[in-house]
Amino acid sequence: MDLLEVSKLNIRYRTKDRTIHAVRDLSISIKRGEVVGLVGESGCGKSTFGMSLLRLLPVSTDISAKKMMFNAGDGMQAGGIDILELSEKELRRLRWKHISVIFQGSMNSLNPVARIGSQFADAMFWHGFDDETIKNSISSHLELVHLDDSIRKSYPHELSGGMKQRVAIAMALVCSPELVIADEPTTALDVVVQRRILKLLMDTKEKLNLSIIFITHDISLLASIADRVAVMYAGSIVEIGDVRTLFRSPLHPYTKGLMSTIPRVDERQSELVEIHGSPPDLSGSIRGCPFAPRCGIATELCAVEMPQLRVVEGRHMVSCHNVEVQDGKND
Amino acid sequence: MISKRYLLRRLTNMAVIAYGAITLNFFLPRIIPGNPVMANLFGGGGGQIGNPVVVRRLTQEFGLNNPNLLYQYYRYLVELVHGNLGISFYYYPQSVVSVIVQRLPWTLFLAGSGTILAALLGIPLGIFLAWRKGTLPDSLISSAGMLISSIPYFWIGIVLLIFFAVDITIFPVAHAVSQGVTYSSVFAYLGDVLYHAVLPISTLVIALMPGYALQMRNTMITVMHEDYILTAFAKGLPNHVIKNRYAARNAILPVTTHVGIALGYVVGGALMVEYLFAYPGLGYTLFSAIQSEDYPLMQGIFLIISLCVIFANFIVDMIYTLIDPRVSLT
Ligand SMILES: Nc1ncnc2c1ncn2[C@@H]1O[C@H](COP(=O)(O)OP(=O)(O)OP(=O)(O)O)[C@@H](O)[C@H]1O
Ligand SMILES: [Mg+2]
């Protein structure tokens, strides 16, 4: 059984004057120990999807899904838990203990008036760890991200950006969750620090058998860290597959476009697909393929009918009318 | 902890500001066209002005017969250092300092307990409202708060006075203690003081509390959008921990600054309230000084009020330093 199974997830933000349909019929499963990269343009709903797994969206938000199951290894109910059915109290138990987050812009995700140590400790304390374990875990997790133990006495403003980021990573891992949602954990950092932190995250992941959903808009990052890559466009996944397959032979025109933004030095960069225009307004309903207006190979069919996500081969799936697939089976 | 060096720097800072206030207090009345101080003294305006003893003493001590303003300023500073602010015309033969020393504690008591009580009630109310932002209780209480904070102190005082001291006479109309009573014990005296202070302090609390509550509410609502609050929710912390240790703890910082800045207004309000309730503090004294054109006393009271506000701001500053780890203490 996969750790996380999401099927036909729809999320609508309700604001004063409009409804934004940010996630549209999204389906994905995550295996234990797997790193799935989630990539797409700004505003395509990546964070919204990530936050929905912890039900961290504004209360007015409308979430529905055919299935949204989290199959925790132990401790929680057998047969998995339905994330959408959880009560406040059960949600609190799921959060951080089973699914944790490294936030987009983790720089500001630490409480400025509390010491680092106490910010680790409060999460653990309320998840029922005893003092001894808390103390040891803080030390071992700080060590994990190569931070000195004395940092627990520091306040966030006393740390550099990279240090804060590492604190955020260590903190996300301190209750040994099964799944970590890493929402652009390194965007604000310089390339050297970014590399180091990614390596750290991956090493830690190996040690702890974590699953990670790695959200980014930089597809090139994923080549070295992800097992699978999911490409998201206008609230839906348009292509998903093993990292090698996707990088070698992307099928969806949008994926091809994203790939072509990666600078390459070798000859193979023959098929340069540029993406013109901008993504559709998510507050309206979209007729046909949401990518069609920007697509170079769109046909009449694309303008009227939304393509389904279909299996190309093995775990490689794509939603495009103009890609030949083996069978017409949906997800 | 606050280091000695830091404290020294803040104290120096305060001393400079205090010196500025002292200097202003000297020059301000003297640059007004017609120089009311001198005109009053020699022109025979107020109560004791005709008294040649007073005029001679003041002239001598403060070098008033020397037309050089800087020399007068120098005399003023020298006398100030010796604790001499002159003689009151109205309360002659009492000195200005002795009048102030008698009256100041009442004002400190009123303004101090008014501010502290208003903050102790207003801030938790603000936290309560922010946490329930947009609900019916929030809208109702916030609107009521906005309405009340738009009413002048004086009006609130009059309403309380008419209602609780005239209509139903459960509280005294005026004064800080009962007149012509001997007390059986210290506690009886303190009880009487509190009894007389209920209406004046309530006036201040009612006038100030909505401001603190709304300030806290609005700041906390802003803080609730910060990333670290989302982190707190993601961590699965119980609501009361997020509310108090994350949201309120951060929101209290700007509110503390606001309390400090508002102190000047609070004192202004306290002075009005004293006048209304014939409460024997500096405010009440100031009004009688104005009525009787007692310039030395007025000047002394203005000076002491500025110094108190400056000192209170220093205290607020220290408190802020202690609760915000980001303030550099070195
Ligand atoms: N709280 C909210 N209320 C209303 N609309 C929102 C809210 N949060 C996000 N949205 C909208 O939902 C859509 C998806 O936003 P989301 O933050 O999930 O994008 P993203 O893929 O994470 O983008 P980025 O790469 O910039 O972080 C956007 O159109 C955004 O405007
Ligand atoms: Mg995002």
Q: What's phi and psi for A19, nearest 5 deg?
A: -115, 130
Q: Is the peptide bond before A253 cis (omega within 30 degrees of 0)?
A: no
| pLDDT computed for residue B36 by the predictor | 61
Task: Find the angle CA(B264)-CA(B268)-CA(B270) to the nearest 5 degrees.
Answer: 115
Note the pLDDT tens digit of each residue in B101-112.
999 999 999 999
B325:A103 CB<8 A: no
| pLDDT computed for residue A272 by the predictor | 58
Low-confidence stretches of chain B (pLDDT beneath 70) = 1, 33-51, 329-330
| pLDDT computed for residue A11 by the predictor | 97
- Residue A181 inside a domain? The answer is no
Note the pLDDT tens digit of each residue in A146-202.
899 999 999 999 999 889 988 998 999 999 999 999 998 887 777 887 887 888 888
Q: What is the DSSP letter of A308?
A: P
CA A45 to ligand 1: nearest atom: 18
- Residue A285 inside a domain? The answer is yes
- Burial of residue A33 (number of CB atoms within 10 Å: 0-12, 13-18, 19+): middle
| pLDDT computed for residue A111 by the predictor | 95
Q: Which two tokens stand for residue A260?
A: 């072509």
Residue in chain A nearest B246 by alpha carbon: A111
Note the pLDDT tens digit of each residue in B301-317.
999 999 999 999 999 98
Residues of the domain holding A121: 110-169
Identity (one letter) of the amino acid at B212?
A: Y
Q: Which two tokens stand for residue A139?
A: 């030390």
Q: How big is chain A by its Cα radius of gyration, in Å?
A: 20
- Best probe residue, ligand 1, of A12, A13, A283 (max atoms within 8 Å of C-beta): A13
- Residue A279 inside a domain? The answer is yes
d(CA B325, CA A156): 10
Confirm if B128 and B135 have CB atoms less than 8 A apart: no
Please check the confidence at residue A330 and state whether its pLDDT lies above 50: no
d(CA B179, CA B123): 37
Domain boundary among A169, A184, A199: A169
Please report which confidence band the pLDDT of residue A232 belongs to, taking 50, 70 and 90 as the band edges. Answer: very high
Q: Which two tokens stand for residue B275?
A: 């006048």
d(CA A120, CA A139): 10
Q: What's phi and psi for A12, nearest 5 deg?
A: -125, 120
d(CA A212, CA A221): 14
Q: What is the DSSP letter of B87?
A: B
Note the pLDDT tens digit of each residue in B68-84.
888 889 988 999 999 88
Please check the confidence at residue A328 and state whether its pLDDT lies above 80: no
pTM score of the predicted model = 0.88
Q: Which residues are registered as beta bridge partners of A236?
A: A233
Q: What is the mean pLDDT of chain B?
A: 88
Domains of chain B: 4-81 (no CATH), 99-321 (1.10.3720.10)
Domain boundary among A169, A196, A215: A169
In 3D space, the residue among A315, A309, A313, A307 whose CA is nearest the CA of residue A326 turns out to be: A313
Residues 151-190 in A contacting B (C-alpha not used; CB under 8 Å): 155, 157
Note the pLDDT tens digit of each residue in A77-108.
556 889 999 999 999 999 999 999 998 776 78
Domain boundary among A146, A169, A192: A169
Which residues have C-beta within 8 Å of that of residue B25, sequence separation ≥ 6? B299, B302, B303, B306
Residue A180: enclosing H or E segment and its boundaries? strand A179-183
Confirm if A9 and A53 have CB atoms less than 8 A apart: no
A96:B246 CB<8 A: no
- Residue A7 inside a domain? The answer is no
Q: What is the mean pLDDT of chain A?
A: 89
Model ipTM value: 0.91
In 3D space, the residue among A227, A242, A252, A220 whose CA is nearest the CA of residue A314 turns out to be: A242
- Residue A84 inside a domain? The answer is no
Report whether residue A83 contacts ligand 1, using a CB cutoff of 6 Å: no
Report whether residue A283 contacts ligand 1, using a CB cutoff of 6 Å: no
Q: What's phi and psi for A95, nearest 5 deg?
A: -65, 135
d(CA B207, CA B64): 43
Please report which confidence band the pLDDT of residue A68 belongs to, taking 50, 70 and 90 as the band edges. Answer: very high
- Best probe residue, ligand 1, of A11, A23, A44 (max atoms within 8 Å of C-beta): A44
A103:B324 CB<8 A: no
CA B261 to chain CA centroid, nearest Å: 11
Query: What residues of chain B lie within 8 A of the CB of A56, using their CB?
Result: 230, 233-234
- Residue A310 inside a domain? The answer is yes
Smallest Cβ–Cβ distance between A95 and the set B227, B236, B325 belongs to B236
Domain count of chain A? 2
CA of B217 from ligand 1 middle (Å) equals 27
- Residue A222 inside a domain? The answer is no
B192 touches chain A (CB under 8 A): no
- Residue A130 inside a domain? The answer is yes
